[in-house]
Amino acid sequence: MILQDLTTTCAAALDATDALMASLLEAMREVLGGAPAAGAAKGGAARTGTGGAAQNDATQGGMATEGKPTATRPDAASTLQREQARAHGFAWASTYARALREMLGWAQRLQAAGRLGELESLLLQAAYAEYLAQLAGGLPMSQGEMFRADSLDTDGTALARFNADPAVRLLRSRGFDGPARARIAALVADGRATRSFGDPGLDDPALYEIREQFARYADDHAADAHRWHLENALIPDAVIAQLAELGVFGLTVPEDWGGLGLGKTAMCVVTEELSRGYIGLGSLGTRSEIAAELIRANGTPEQRERLLPGIASGAILPTASFTEPDVGSDLASLKTRAELVTRADGSRAWRINGNKTWTTHGARSDLMTLLVRTETAERGNRGLSMLLVPKPRGSDANPFPAPGMSGGEIEVLGYRGMKEYEIAFDNFETPENALLGGEAGQGFRQLMRTFESARIQTAARAVGVAQNAFELGLAYSLSRMQFGQPLIAFPRVADKLAWMAVETMIARQLTLYAAREKDGHRRCDLEAGMAKLLAARVAWANADNAVQVHGGNGYAQEYPISRVLVDARILNVFEGAAEIQANIVARALL
């Protein structure tokens, strides 16, 4: 059942994939008018994350980043927008190619360590079988949008070569055929008791211990988490205190500032396991990660000393407030204003006016990373600054007990446990030393750089949610009997579970790859974008399929999969919606 010379065959198929992608890149560039798109990296599809000029950009194609106009041609942005379907399709196809490369790298590392077992081999060949088929025949960017490679390879020559490649043909026809699907389902069913769903291939034995520790924590709190969700309650303070004790809020903060000084790979392992128990648990550290990285990379020495130890210990819970009622994806056009004023006592302060929305954990937080416009003469991202705003903790009755700050909860489908808020600032004042780095006009640039880490963390959250959905679906399929048999005996059920196991591993390997790039101090906006893009889709697909496996019970709130479905849905929207993420990937490559 395992294909002979599997890793060699996959390597050959990868060569064929690279050739296809090179042709699609050329075609895409031609569509865009021959020149690289705004903000493009040299090397296109060949870029491996070792540099490049790609900008991380939360805005539309042609908006400037880091204060520089990016369009090498004035019409580049509008061309890219007009050609979004193909450009984003190309981004997705490149994400698949990268994911396949990382799956092979994972398998080769396991092989070298003598740990490439039957399940891992089957996951590898299944990943190749399905993604190679989708690359040639149609790749779902969303449920209703399919990218077809022949929309770029219009004369069909590149696809003909790809389809004729012997390794591609073998993997596609046999890699994930009926027997392979059935065997994967049988192996994951056998592995359920010990949670053996494929070795994640972590390169440090200590990471396996960390994984175990947080897996136990997540399992111990999974039932409570479902109750918090149903009651729309904040995750209890006692849980936050326990996670603080475990070091969750200072995982990647250097030891000099009271953190654990671990890398992003460790952060992914912890985040995935906590999110597998509950997305809220895996998300508690998100804002600490964002704030700590903003301050570490850009803060003044005084800001680092004052804030990093508290963030690392969990004593200071940050919240991230960027989105406004009229400004989401196009963050560069935000309107909330901050002006420097002199108070009666002679001290200076930022006076803030405007409205923010979707601020997660807004009430029970001590510090806002608040993106504001400080220079009104400057349009777009150049007039934006990041403020580190201290605030008192609020309660359900009075969420924002500070003069000049008011707001209320936004009721949401899922992603509960921290609550989301809209916040109005009416002459709210914060001290002058709130300005991150002490320099105005740098906020957008500072934030975009932080998005690399934030997106890796979100990809890891998505992998955890995907894994949770898979495990819930698997457990149900083993216990529920119909027609005198467990559900998993029916191929249509087993096939779903097999693919969930495969694609979760693909998303995990792509995410760990982005984390390794970050840990290697290499620019990884592209890699983080790819990981977030794919992992979010996988989380949603797994959740949807796991509900299907549950039948009617999947729709009952009593069953945790009903929560996982709504929790999974947000991952494609925040931290850069899927369309924005695809745009970032496209711009980096084209």
Ligand X SMILES: Cc1cc2nc3c(=O)[nH]c(=O)nc-3n(C[C@H](O)[C@H](O)[C@H](O)COP(=O)(O)OP(=O)(O)OC[C@H]3O[C@@H](n4cnc5c(N)ncnc54)[C@H](O)[C@@H]3O)c2cc1C
List active site positions: 575
Give the phi and the psi of residue 420 in degrees, each rounded to 5.
-115, 145
Which CB sits closer to ligand X, 58 or 132?
A: 58
Residues binding ligand X: what is the number (CB under 6 A)?
19
Give the CA count within 13 Å in the CB-facing half-sphere of 344: 0
Binding of residue 359 to ligand X (CB under 6 A):
yes
**Residue sitting closest to ligand X (CB):** 328
42 CB burial (10 A radius; 0-12, 13-18, 19+): exposed
Sole window of 28-36, 295-303, 378-386, 571-579 interacting with ligand X (rule: CB under 6 A)? 571-579
Binding of residue 358 to ligand X (CB under 6 A):
yes
DSSP string, 346-415: S-EEEEEEEEEEEEET-TT-SEEEEEEE--TTS-GGGGEEEEEEE-----SSSS--BTTEEEEEEP-SS-
Which CB sits closer to ligand X, 141 or 312?
A: 141
Residues 556/558/559/564 CA torsion (nearest 10 deg): 90
Q: What is the amino acid identity at position 476?
A: Y
Which CB sits closer to ligand X, 159 or 528?
A: 528
Footprint (CB under 6 A) of ligand X, residues 219-278: none
Which CB sits closer to ligand X, 402 or 573?
A: 573
Rg (CA), the chain: 24
Among 19, 146, 215, 412, binds ligand X (CB under 6 A): 412
Residue 396 beta carbon to ligand X: minimum distance, rounded to whole angstroms:
18
Q: What is the DSSP letter of 394?
A: -
Binding of residue 321 to ligand X (CB under 6 A):
yes
Binding of residue 328 to ligand X (CB under 6 A):
yes
Only one residue has tokens 């770029």, namely 152
183, 397, 560 from 224: Cα distances, Å: 34, 23, 11
Which CB sits closer to ligand X, 3 or 536?
A: 536
Q: What kind and span of H or E run contains 355?
A: strand 348-360
Sole window of 151-159, 306-314, 357-365, 502-510 interacting with ligand X (rule: CB under 6 A)? 357-365
Residue 328 beta carbon to ligand X: minimum distance, rounded to whole angstroms:
2
Binding of residue 360 to ligand X (CB under 6 A):
yes
State whether residue 34 is helix, strand or coil. Answer: coil
Residue 271 beta carbon to ligand X: minimum distance, rounded to whole angstroms:
16
Footprint (CB under 6 A) of ligand X, residues 22-81: 60
Residue 359 beta carbon to ligand X: minimum distance, rounded to whole angstroms:
5
**Alpha-carbon torsion (527, 529, 535, 538), positive or negative:** negative
Look at residues 57, 67, 127 and name the one whose alpha carbon lies nearest to residue 97.
Answer: 127
**Alpha-carbon torsion (441, 446, 451, 457), positive or negative:** negative
Residue 578 beta carbon to ligand X: minimum distance, rounded to whole angstroms:
6
Binding of residue 289 to ligand X (CB under 6 A):
no
Binding of residue 574 to ligand X (CB under 6 A):
yes
Which CB sits closer to ligand X, 40 or 77?
A: 77
In this structure, the number of other CB atoms found within 10 A of the CB of residue 586 comes to 28
Sole window of 181-189, 412-420, 518-526, 543-551 interacting with ligand X (rule: CB under 6 A)? 412-420
Residue 68 beta carbon to ligand X: minimum distance, rounded to whole angstroms:
20
Residue 570 beta carbon to ligand X: minimum distance, rounded to whole angstroms:
5
Who contacts 185 (Cβ-Cβ below 8 Å, separation ≥6)? Answer: 488, 494, 495, 497, 498
Binding of residue 420 to ligand X (CB under 6 A):
yes
State whether residue 340 is helix, strand or coil. Answer: strand
In the numeric block, which tokens belong to residue 53? Answer: 């000029």
Among 168, 251, 580, 588, binds ligand X (CB under 6 A): 580
Binding of residue 365 to ligand X (CB under 6 A):
no
Which CB sits closer to ligand X, 487 or 570?
A: 570
Residue 377 beta carbon to ligand X: minimum distance, rounded to whole angstroms:
25
Q: What is the amino acid identity at position 153?
A: D
Binding of residue 573 to ligand X (CB under 6 A):
yes
Among 275, 323, 430, 504, binds ligand X (CB under 6 A): 323
Q: Which residues of 56-95 are buried (b: 16+ CB within 10 A; e: fewer)?
A: bbbbbbbbbbbeeebbebeebbebbeebbebbbbbbbbbb
Give the CA count within 13 Å in the CB-facing half-sphere of 389: 30
Residue 254 beta carbon to ligand X: minimum distance, rounded to whole angstroms:
25
Binding of residue 451 to ligand X (CB under 6 A):
no
Among 6, 136, 270, 320, binds ligand X (CB under 6 A): 320
Which CB sits closer to ligand X, 358 or 428?
A: 358
Which CB sits closer to ligand X, 106 or 322?
A: 322
Sole window of 11-19, 108-116, 248-256, 575-583 interacting with ligand X (rule: CB under 6 A)? 575-583
Among 188, 570, 589, 590, binds ligand X (CB under 6 A): 570
DSSP string, 192-257: TTTT-S-----S-HHHHHHHHHHHHHHHHHHHHHHHHHHHTPPPPHHHHHHHHHTTGGGTTS-GGG
Binding of residue 303 to ligand X (CB under 6 A):
no
Q: What is the DSSP letter of 554?
A: G
Q: Whole-angstrom Cα distance, residue 235 to residue 417? A: 5
Sole window of 11-19, 111-119, 202-210, 314-322 interacting with ligand X (rule: CB under 6 A)? 314-322
In this structure, the number of other CB atoms found within 10 A of the CB of residue 315 comes to 12
Q: Whole-angstrom Cα distance, residue 470 to residue 353? A: 45
Binding of residue 577 to ligand X (CB under 6 A):
yes
State whether residue 275 is helix, strand or coil. Answer: helix
Among 48, 300, 329, 333, binds ligand X (CB under 6 A): 329
Sole window of 246-254, 356-364, 389-397, 501-509 interacting with ligand X (rule: CB under 6 A)? 356-364
Residue 323 beta carbon to ligand X: minimum distance, rounded to whole angstroms:
4
Which CB sits closer to ligand X, 63 or 239?
A: 63
**Could you tell me if residue 277 is left (phi over 0), alpha (psi between -120 and 50 degrees) or otherwise beta?**
alpha
Residue 544 beta carbon to ligand X: minimum distance, rounded to whole angstroms:
18
Contact footprint for ligand X (CB under 6 A)? 60, 320-323, 328-329, 358-360, 412, 415, 420, 570, 573-574, 577, 579-580
